[in-house]
Amino acid sequence: MRSNKSATLSRKKGALPKLVGFDKDTHMFRHISKLNFKVSPYVYPGLAMAQGDADIALLVYDVCASLKQEVTQVLSDRRHRHLVNVRFAVYHCLIHRDKRTYKSVGEFFNRDHSSVVAGVQTWSNLLQMQDQEAWRIQSVVNMSYHKQHTPL
């Protein structure tokens, strides 16, 4: 008999993806049925958002736009180094600056919490080793985070 954890994970992967798009006018992610395609052509399949995940989605969108990466690629299971670095940098920011739980970050990225823990630790190690690429990505993430959390 399968445990609840594996049954939940298999249910998530087998579920139909929700279509979410970014509305540039309101700077919010919305369900595809509520988007005006003349205004917002950015649609991300598989980006299922729970209540309170809009700020994570906006951070991911800003970081990906600044680094010229596709949001769907960063959220995917791909293991290309340039995608993994962006993913780990966002994990690190959400855990250490935004004080999110590993579980909530993992749920947004469709990962287990232990994957997020490993990613945060790996990213911390890269920053401590003075990796130039890591610091460049971290500065973009920091700017996006501060832009999002600076009062108007």
Residue range 12-22, pLDDT digits in tens:
444 334 545 55
Digit-coded pLDDT (tens) for 44-55: 544 555 556 778
**Which pLDDT belongs to residue 150?**
76
Q: What is the pTM of this model?
A: 0.69
**Which pLDDT belongs to residue 49?**
56
**Which pLDDT belongs to residue 17?**
42
**Which pLDDT belongs to residue 122?**
96
**Which pLDDT belongs to residue 13?**
45
Alpha carbon dihedral 40, 45, 50, 54, in 10-degree steps, equals: -30
Q: Residues of the chain whose pLDDT is less than 50?
A: 1-17, 19, 32-43, 45-46
Exposure letters 15-37 (e unless 16+ CB within 10 A, then b): eeeebbbbeeeeeebbeeeebee
